[in-house]
Amino acid sequence: MSNKVCVFGSFNLDIVAGMARFPQPGESLIARTSMMGAGGKGANQAIAALKAGARVHYIGKVGRDDFGQFARRHLDSAGFDAVTLFSTGERPTGNALIYVAGEDAENMIAVDPGANLTVTDQEIDQCRPAIAAADILLTQLENNLSAVTRAIALAREAGTPVILNPAPFQPVPDTLLPQLFLLTPNATECSLLSGVTVTDVPSARQAAEVLHRKGVAALIITLGTQGALLSMNGETTLIPACRATPVDTTGAGDAFNGALAARLAAGATLIQAARFASAYAAVCVERPGAAASMPEYAEALARQQACA
């Protein structure tokens, strides 16, 4: 393994307000805090993979606007092996308005995907060498499905294993599922994909059986504080959640997926990678922000050892 992760996914500019509680319709509340920073599931997961030890090639698309200039500065300074950033003048750079509220630091998010939904097959085809050179392709559903499907097809041609994090949820054709090395839904996304309402570990096992029948080879269903269920080869393993004191849960899923991809690219087994990813996400949620909250490899390793 060359420890290379290729991440195709969204870039958003995040504007975050910390609140005592969520506002009611028509209500104005004074925020406790506010911040602006880099986000988007693709960029967040790329940063997580990088900090978790991988060599990362990030592929995304932004608008030709001030937010797009912000994206370029952020991505150029991140430390990636390579960045392929397409642009359009027809749509704005993706952006997200985020409320974080309450003692559990739950979040409420409104996203304008903007340029993220305009990636063409021709642009993806330009990335064929990067996808072929990677140990893992990690992608999500915050871009147009046609581009995601094309990237997965190129990975299959090259023999590059694909992790699909099906977030934010959009319907995907069942024909896409057998092409994946690993599917990583949360409880809500798993419910929508399988038709089984996932609320706990037993219902997650039922949903996993449905998805395996649809051709999914392996999946990890993240269940928040209940941990994560790994299902493959007819067996399930519950990966315990590491203890955390949440400050902002916005980037938890992205932290998990980026760290998971990094460890798999380094040659770890699925169980080993999932245990590390759980610890990595636990450190992430104790900090504000999304990309800015991703911990270093050593921090997550120390948390994993403390969780054992």
pLDDT at 233: 87
Q: Which of 168, 157, 135, 149 shows the shortest CA–CA distance to 262?
A: 135
Mark the binding-site residues for K(+), compressed into ranges.
Answer: 248, 250, 284, 287, 289, 293
Kindly list the domain boundaries of the chain, sorted by start residue. Answer: 4-20+31-307
- DSSP characters for 254-299? HHHHHHHHHHHHTT--HHHHHHHHHHHHHHHTTSSSSGGGPPPHHH
One digit per residue, the tens of pLDDT, for the chain of length 308 reads 689 999 999 999 989 899 999 999 999 999 999 988 899 999 999 999 999 999 999 999 999 999 999 999 999 999 999 999 999 999 999 998 989 898 777 888 888 999 999 999 999 999 999 999 999 999 999 999 999 999 999 999 999 999 999 999 999 999 999 999 999 999 999 999 999 999 999 999 999 999 999 999 999 999 998 999 999 988 999 999 988 888 877 789 999 999 999 999 999 999 999 999 999 999 998 887 777 789 899 998 989 888 87
Tell me the one-letter amino acid at 14. Answer: D
User: Under 8 Å CB-to-CB from 69, ≥6 apart: which residues?
Assistant: none
Strand spans (E) along the chain = 4-8, 12-19, 33-39, 55-63, 82-88, 94-101, 106-112, 136-139, 162-164, 182-183, 218-222, 228-232, 235-239
pLDDT at 80: 97
Q: What pTM, to 2 d.p., does this model score?
A: 0.93
Mark the binding-site residues, compressed into ranges.
Answer: 12-14, 40-44, 142, 186, 222-227, 248, 250, 253-254, 284, 287, 289, 293
pLDDT at 1: 67
Q: Which of 284, 276, 285, 286 shows the shortest CA–CA distance to 306?
A: 276
Measured in degrees and rounded to the nearest 5, phi and psi for residue 94 equal -55, 145
Residue positions annotated with a catalytic role: 254
Cα separation values, 135 from 65, 162, 181, 214, 307, Å? 33, 9, 12, 25, 28
**4-20+31-307: which CATH architecture?**
3-Layer(aba) Sandwich (3.40)
pLDDT at 307: 84
3-class DSSP assignment, residue 183 = strand
pLDDT at 70: 95
